[in-house]
Structure formats: structure tokens, C-alpha cells
Amino acid sequence: MAAQQVFVANRGEIALRVIEACDRLGVPTVLGVSQADQDTLAARRASRTVVLGPARASQSYLSLDTVVHAAVETGCTAVHPGYGFLSERADFARLCAQNGLTFVGPKPEHLETLGDKLSARRVAESAGVPVSPGGPTATRAEGLAVAQRIGYPVLVKAAFGGGGRGMKRVDDASEFEAAWELASSEAAASFGDGTVFVERFVRNAKHVEVQILGDTHGHRIHLGERECSVQYRYQKMIEEAPCTALTPQARERLHAHALRIADEIGYVSLGTVEFLYDVERDALCFLEVNPRVQVEHPVTEAVTGIDLVREQLLVAFGEPLSVRQEDVHLDGHAVELRLTAQDPSQSLRPSPGRLVRWRPPALGGVRWDTHLYEGYLFPPYYDALMAKVIAYGADRDAALARLRKALARLDLQGPTTNLPLLRALLNAPEVVHNTASTRWLEDALPALMAGDMP
């Protein structure tokens, strides 16, 4: 492998995770930070740190020219975008290439194809992978016609972006016009494009996803599946691997579907193919592809023993995959929780502030991915994620038991967090028995916080 130096174009726990992977490869790092992030654990761990601009992401982490200029001026050979920010921007990947920098991620044309959910649906259809009934809607009238054809309830969804923005559920025709307008306006404001489409809403759905990995030598593999059904307003809160709700036949189909999509476009790098699983019908339908490292990647690492960020970096450096499909074996079970600076009594409203006390317990089988330290001022400008706690066990019950112990022993003082909600979730029957659907938490949140759940 030729000498490399990686510019880390992100912040928080994922920046620290990338730096740690580079350290293990012996690759020096330069971290680009905003003025608000100069004194973070990632800044302390990087070989060098440069300030990109003011606290606002639009003037620092999202400034394409600034990031590329900083990477070039510091002598870097590659840029790792982490997740969020610039990680799925085809124009950023192209700008990196134009300036002699390796973008640690998929090809720009793949980012374009997969970043548009409608074109991603076409890729899935071309690969013979089932998609949910629906289609594009250039006007409200077209959208209404699609909804009437496929039947309510439906989802009106932004064609670009994610995170639940530009996504609205519609239960009958009387709600459609307002939902279509709101979804389109949210999509335009968040992603710069108001294009939306309509698809059938699955009532009792599980959110399942397959981790894929491809190199520049034509090798593509899957690393099993994850389940991320416990969500609030389409934001994942619990992730686990593997998915115990799948039948063996559905699991086999799921993995095959993901690889067919990867093969269809010759996918290179780390990525995740997401599906809805209709438990009642034992049916899968394609949702989207996330062409980057995912927040929940540690649960896959826990059950496979494979360092996904290391593999992602090596692929970007032109190396072949260090594992083949026959080398991938899932052992045990892992569950991840997202600890956030959000107030669950106020519909998870952000709650930034200074961290007075942070003492995560050291327990066997428990991993903490975090950039926190005592005295850290959690800023109001970015995502509310504070830490990820990942527990591994011989089976699902063992992993959940370790999580309960970890959260019970966590000594945390400072911003209001979702810790009480996480503790309640781990004892909710729907989580214990894995019967929760993607909509369950939105309905159950008030009762969970009031302590009224059985």
C-alpha cells in the first residue's frame, strides 16, 4: 500500500472512529473542525487539526471548497467523509478527484444514482428486486392518482435525502394534498429538491438492512443483516444484528437481493441496502441504499469480527477485500442504543449543554463509541448523538441484559438526555420479544415516559 494521509471531514464519534481505524493502519490523519469543535477527543487524537470555519456547518463541514482546500494544503491523499455532511455528495466526490484526492466512498456516479430514491428504485427493479408499490409524482394530482391506485395508507417521500425529512404518512384522500405539499416543501428546504414520490405504507413492518462491501477488483460480499425497527419519526434508536424476526427463507432472499443490487451497478466501498419486511406476508421490498458507513455499523462488527472502517479505507486505497463471502460468519448477537442530548418528555427536542459527569461503566461485552468527556460543552449546532453503546452476547437476551446493566451503571450528569427512554425501552415487551414495528415507538412514547407500559 502506497503512503497515505487521510483528511477526516467530519466530527463527533465517527471522526474519532475513523482516526482510530487509520491509527491501526499506521496512516496519519488530519482532522477538519469547526471553531466549536477545536477541543474534542477527535482533535486530540488526530495527527493534526485544522479549523475549517465558524460553528455553523454550512460555513465549515458543508463547505466543499474549504474542505478540499484544507485537505490539499495539509498534504493529504484521501478524504474520509464519515456519515452525514458531505458523505453522499457526488459533487464533493468529484471535487476530491479533480484535486488528486481519493474519496473514501463509492464512485460519484453511484452516489448520484443511489442518492435519488427514484433512480435507486429503478436499479432495484432492473436487478429483479421487489420494490413497494408506488411511483413518482410530478404534481399533486399525479400523486393522488398513485395513492388511489395502490390504496391507503401511503407514504409521500422525498426523492433525495433522508432522516425522515420530507416523509409524510397519509391515511386517506382527505389528507393527501396537505401532506404532499408539506413533504415537497420540507424536501426542497432540506435537500434543495422538492421532488417526492408515493409508495404503499406497510402497517406491520420491520426495517431490515444488509451490509455490503465491494472493492475495485470486482469482489462484492454481504456481511449479514441488521434490524432497525425501533425508530422515532424515522430516526433509528435501537439497532441489532442479526434480525431474529426473519424466516430462514426471507434471510436468504434478503442477502441475495442486496448483492443483486450491488452487482447491478458494480458497487465499490462500504454500503447498506435497506428493506421493509412485511411480517404478516413474509415479504420484502426495497427501500434505499445508503452509500456510506452507517451509524449502526458496530453491531455488524461485533457479530462478524470484521473492522468495517478498516476495510472501507483499504478498498479506497485500491486493496482487495481481506475477506471473501465464505469467510463471513455471524456469531452471537449485538444490540446498539443511541444516547442523545434530547428530552423524551418533549418529543425528543434537542437539549444541548455542558457535560458535568460522564462515567460509562467498563463491562465485558460492552463497547462505548463516543467523543464525550467530563466538561465537554455539547453544542447546539449539530446532531444530538452523544454516544453509542453496543452490547454483544451469545444470544439476543444476553445482549439486552448487558445493555440493561450498562445503562443502570452509567453515571451521567449534564444535558437532558434520552437515557430514561432507553432504560424503559429495554424493558418494553415489544422490544424484549422483538415485536415492535417501525411505527411502534411513535405511538408508545407517551406511555413509556409515563411508566404506564406493562
* Residue 221 backbone dihedrals phi, psi, to 5 degrees: -135, 165
Q: How far apart are CA 441 and CA 412, in angstroms?
A: 24
Cβ 434 vs Cβ 230: under 8 Å? no
Dihedral (CA of 276, 402, 296, 39) sign: positive
d(CA 131, CA 153): 16
DSSP letter, residue 345: G
DSSP summary character for residue 108: H
> What three-state secondary structure class fits 239?
strand
Q: How far apart, in whole angstroms, are the C-alpha atoms of residue 64 and residue 55?
A: 15
Angle value at C-alpha 433, between 307 and 435, nearest 5 degrees = 90
Residue from 110, 397, 381, 413 nearest 268 by CA: 110
Taking phi first (over 0 means left), then psi (-120 to 50 degrees means alpha), and beta for anything else, what does residue 198 get? beta
> H helices of 64-220, where?
64-73, 90-98, 108-115, 117-126, 140-150, 173-191
Copy the grid coordinates of residue 106: 463509492
Are 129 and 290 in contact by the 8 Å Cβ rule? The answer is no
Q: Which helix or strand (DSSP H or E) is residue 441 part of? A: helix 440-450
- E runs forming strands in 201-294: 205-214, 220-227, 231-232, 235-236, 238-241, 269-278, 283-290
Q: Is 31 in contact with 40 (CB distance < 8 Å)?
A: no
**Enzyme catalytic residues:** 292
Look up cell 448483492; give the residue.
259
